[in-house]
Chains A and B, each alone.
Chain A
Amino acid sequence: MEIRHFKSVSSTSDKAKELANAGYIPWTTIVAEEQTDGHGRKGEAWFSPKGGLYFSVILPKNSIDDLQTITILAAFKVAKTIKESFGLEPMIKLPNDVLINDKKFCGILTENIIIGDKVKLSVIGIGINTNIDKFPESLKDIATSVKIEANREIDNQILLNKILEELKNQFNTINQ
């Protein structure tokens, strides 16, 4: 599984789509230290400063139903990893958000490209507020970070590897 690191991108999912079109294979993962145009559903912005973990994975071809299942299960996998790694109690707001103490710390968005009647390309993007100390006024009551909740610095690389492993296992299970 190739992991490509970037200092700054507009959106890891846009970069993933670009690389997939250039021939990069499924499970290639794009990680960025910051996103200048991170987004959630319906184009809503995702606050993506340095410190957070922002990544997108090019998914193998799948049916639209299974892609939805994968998106939902990805939220479970993030919640499970955060619970096991930091002893926190995440809650899932289906299907795209994961919360701690009623505040969002993770957003998940699957983007598909459909041509005619077929899914040609799918990318799952996951943004996790890991080492973010402060949120803007507009977000401070609805957003939190793993660092704020666990009261310690988070190793983004270790967390990324754990989540990717979980996602891949999950995917293999669905596709066996």
Chain B
Amino acid sequence: MDNVAKIKNDRIDMELNIKIKNKEYNVKILEEGSIVKVIVGKNEYVFNSDKKEETLLSQSTSKSLQKEIKASLAGTISEIFIKDGGTIKVGQKLLTLSAMKMENEIASESKGKIKKILVNKNDTVKAGDILIALE
């Protein structure tokens, strides 16, 4: 999202009106090669993806000695599927984090026993916050 590039032979691919919180905006979207340019009023946003397939979210702790599960991105806890004292398996669904207008199922990276769940439903968390402490 940071890379800004110039677009030659501008052509409008889409032009639409969007309503955000009852205010209307005119939005144009241009596509050129690997670049998608979104123009909202006088503001211009350029999306370019020369990134690796999987972008690293916040760094997690060492897998072999995992004592806690952290939030990999900021958001709101929308559902919790586990209980204090419960055991978890690799890949098990732990909770859902509503972030960036998407629903993100946080699954377990390793097996273990839950010491304490440190968040409640509807809590807002930051990237890196500890969500679950493991024994």
Residues of A at the B interface (CB closer than 8 Å) are: 41-43, 61-69, 71, 73, 76, 79-80, 83, 90-96, 99, 109-120, 170, 173-176
Contacts A42-B78, A117-B59, A174-B49 given: A111-B102 contact, CB under 8 Å? Answer: yes
Q: Which residue of B lies closest to A174 (CB)?
A: B49
Residues on B with beta carbons closer than 8 Å to the beta carbon of A90? 16
Q: Which label, helix, strand, loop or mixed, suits the secondary structure of the A interface?
A: mixed
Q: Contact at B53–A92, with CB atoms within 8 Å?
A: no
Q: Hey, which chain B residues are within 8 Å of A120, CB to CB?
A: 107
| Contact-residue size bin, chain B (C-beta under 8 Å from the other chain) | 35 or more
Contacts A93-B19, A115-B91 hold; do A41 and B105 have CB atoms under 8 A apart?
no
- Give me the 8 closest cross-chain CB pairs, A-B, nearest first: A63-B55, A176-B34, A116-B109, A110-B102, A92-B18, A117-B57, A116-B60, A95-B101
Given contacts A63-B51, A114-B104, A176 and B60 within 8 Å (CB-CB): no
B53 A173 Cβ-Cβ under 8 A: no
> Once bound together, how far apart are the Cα atoms of A9 and B37, in whole Å?
37
Q: How far is the CB of A40 from chain B (nearest CB, A)?
A: 9
B54 touching A63, Cβ below 8 Å: yes
| A117 with B102, Cβ < 8 A, contacts A76-B29, A174-B36 known | no
Contact of A115 with B109 in the complex, beta carbons under 8 Å = yes
Distance of B58 from chain A, by nearest CB (Å): 6
Shortest C-beta distance, B123 to chain A (Å), equals 13
Inter-subunit contact A61/B54 (CB<8 Å):
yes
- Is B80 an interface residue when CB atoms closer than 8 A count as contact? no
Please, which residues of chain A bring their CB within 8 A of the CB of B103? 41-42, 109-112
> B residues within 8 A CB of A61?
53-54
Question: A residues within 8 A CB of B91?
Answer: 115
Q: Which of B31, B53, B57, B60 contacts A62 (CB 8 A)?
A: B53
Given contacts A41-B98, A64-B100, contact A93 B54 (CB under 8 A): no
CA distance A68 to B38 in the complex (A): 14
B7 interfacial contact with A, CB 8 Å: no
Asked if A68 contacts B102 (CB within 8 A), the reply is yes
Residue ID in chain A nearest B63 by CB atoms: A116
Q: Does B33 contact A (CB under 8 A)?
A: yes
Q: A65-B55, A117-B57, A118-B57 known; A173 and B34 CB under 8 Å?
A: yes
With a cutoff of 8 Å between Cβ atoms, the chain B residues found around residue A62 in the complex are 53-54
- In the complex, what's the smallest C-beta–C-beta distance from A127 to chain B, in angstroms? 14
Q: Which residues of A contact B63 (CB under 8 A)?
A: 116
Can you name 4 extra interface pairs (CB under 8 A) apart from A80-B16, A92-B18, A117-B72? A63-B55, A73-B36, A111-B103, A176-B49
